[in-house]
């Protein structure tokens, strides 16, 4: 007999919610889950201090946009942005917001996070910090 691992309450809740989704929504949840798992498994290398510009494709999915923005802004901690990023993904998948609108907001989020991260550094360099 193969020993079975006990399922946590969160896992049972996730499975229940997953089963209630439409097929296309299940595919989106799986794609986002794969993205999160890949992020968690990635070994962080020394991140550059400046963003690496990548043009935005005309037809881009929200998951592809998140991946692109993570490549453009590798210096940002994905854990600190997880809540806002996943909320935007949920707005697209569960609430029907258009991919274009969500991607626009994701881009603003990443730019603002980068600027907030680099602001203290710039103030120190210019002597304007408090």
Domain boundaries, the chain: 54-126
Tokens 């550059």 belong to residue:
48
User: What was the pLDDT predicted at 14?
Assistant: 86
- For the chain, strand residue ranges (E) read none
User: What was the pLDDT predicted at 124?
Assistant: 47
User: What was the pLDDT predicted at 130?
Assistant: 45
Q: Between 7 and 92, whose confidence is greater?
A: 92
Report whether pLDDT(88) > 80.
yes
Is the full-model pTM beyond 0.75?
A: no
């Amino acid at each position: 007999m193969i020993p079975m691992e006990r399922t946590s309450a969160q896992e049972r809740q996730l499975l229940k919610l997953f089963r209630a989704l439409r097929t296309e929504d299940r595919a989106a949840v799986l794609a986002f889950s794969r993205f999160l798992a890949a992020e968690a498994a990635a070994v962080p290398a020394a991140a550059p201090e400046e963003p690496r510009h990548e043009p935005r494709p005309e037809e881009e999915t929200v998951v592809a946009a998140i991946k692109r923005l993570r490549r453009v802004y590798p210096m940002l901690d994905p854990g600190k942005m997880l809540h806002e990023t996943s909320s935007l993904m949920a707005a697209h998948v569960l609430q029907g917001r258009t991919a274009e609108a969500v991607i626009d907001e994701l881009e603003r989020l990443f730019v603002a996070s980068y600027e907030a991260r680099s602001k203290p550094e710039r103030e120190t360099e210019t002597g304007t910090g408090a």
